[in-house]
Amino acid sequence: MVAKTTIVRYATAFFLVCCFVFSGKQVFAQRDAVPTDPEIISQGEQLFNEYQCNTCHKVDSKLVGPALAGVYDRRDLEWIYSWVKNSQALIASGDPQATALYNEFNQLVMAPYDLEDEQILSILAYVRDVEENPPMPEVAATGDGAAAGGDGSGIPSSYLNIIVAALVVVLILILVVLVIIIGVLKKYLQDKEGLDEADKDVVNEKFSFSAFVKSPTVIGIITFLVIALAAKNVIDGLYTIGVQQGYQPEQPIAFSHKIHAGEYEIACQYCHTGVEIGKSANIPSVNICMNCHSQIKTDSPEIQKLYAAQESGKPIEWVRIHNLPDLAYFNHSQHVKVGGIECQTCHGEIQEMEVVKQHAPLTMGWCIDCHRNTSLNTQGNGYYDKLVELHNKTSGTPMNVEDIGGLECAKCHY
Q: Number of helices (H) and strands (E), helices first, in the chain?
A: 20, 0
Is residue 2 helix, strand or coil?
A: helix
- Stretch 53-72: interaction string toward ligand HEC, x if CB under 6 A: x-xxx------xxx-x--x-
The partner residues of 400 in beta bridges, in order of sequence, read 375
Q: Does 293 bind ligand HEC (CB under 6 A)?
A: yes
CA atoms of 312 and 345, how far apart (whole Å): 37
Calculate ∠ Cα 275-281-284, nearest 5°.
115
Tell which one of 330, 333, 387, 402 touches ligand HEC (CB under 6 A): 330
Q: Rule CB under 6 A: is residue 309 a binding residue for ligand HEC?
A: no
Instruction: Please identify, among the stretches 13-21, 23-31, 46-54, 213-221, the one whose residues bind ligand HEC according to the rule CB under 6 A.
Output: 46-54
Q: Rank residues 67 and 195 by Cβ distance to ligand HEC and give the closer one.
A: 67
Question: Which CB, 58 or 293, lies closer to ligand HEC?
Answer: 293
- One residue of 27, 105, 240, 402 binding ligand HEC per CB under 6 A: 105
Applying CB under 6 A, does 110 fall inside the site for ligand HEC? yes
Distance CA 82, CA 68 (A): 16
Cβ count near 31 (within 10 Å): 15
Q: How many residues does the chain have?
A: 414
Confirm or reject binding of residue 291 to ligand HEC (CB under 6 A).
Answer: yes
Q: Which stretch binds ligand HEC (CB under 6 A): 19-27, 194-202, 216-224, 366-374?
A: 366-374
> What proportions of the chain, in percent to the nearest 5, are helix, strand and coil?
60, 0, 40
Q: How far is the CB of 122 from ligand HEC (least distance, A)?
A: 10
Which member of 12, 204, 215, 334 binds ligand HEC (CB under 6 A)? 334
Question: In Å, how far are 50, 71, 133, 279, 366 from 58, measured between CA atoms?
Answer: 14, 12, 14, 30, 37
401 near ligand HEC (CB under 6 A):
yes
- Answer yes or no whether residue 338 interacts with ligand HEC by CB under 6 A: yes
- Using the rule CB under 6 A, is 289 a contact of ligand HEC? yes
Alpha carbon of residue 34 to chain centroid: 36
- Please choose, out of 131-139, 194-202, 250-258, 391-399, the segment that lies near ligand HEC by the rule CB under 6 A: 250-258
Give the separation between CA 203 and CA 196, rounded to whole angstroms: 11
Q: Give me Rg for the CA atoms of the chain.
A: 36
Contact residue for ligand HEC among 288, 387, 388, 399 (CB under 6 A):
288
Asked if 102 interacts with ligand HEC (CB under 6 A), we say yes
Q: Least distance in Å: CB of 232 to ligand HEC?
A: 20
Nearer Cβ to ligand HEC, position 27 or 404? Answer: 404
Work out how close the CB of 145 gets to ligand HEC at its nearest, in angstroms, rounded to a whole number.
9
Listed ranges 77-85, 152-160, 177-185, 190-198: which one lies at the site for ligand HEC (CB under 6 A):
77-85
For 262-273, b/e burial (b = at least 16 CB within 10 A) is: bebebebeebbb
Closest CA to 44 of 137, 158, 128: 128
Alpha-carbon distance 346 to 369, whole Å? Answer: 13
Residues 192-211 that bind ligand HEC (CB under 6 A): none
Q: State residue 328 phi and psi, 5-degree precision.
A: -110, 145
Q: Which amino acid is at 239?
A: Y
Task: Give the range of 158-166, 185-193, 204-212, 253-261 binding ligand HEC by CB under 6 A.
Answer: 253-261
Bridge-partner residues for 413, per DSSP? 328
How far is residue 303's CA from residue 293's CA, in Å, rounded to a whole number?
A: 7
- Positions 116 through 175 that interact with ligand HEC (CB under 6 A): 123, 146, 148
For ligand HEC, the closer CB: 53 or 125: 53
Q: From the list 196, 210, 409, 414, which residue makes contact with ligand HEC (rule: CB under 6 A)?
A: 409
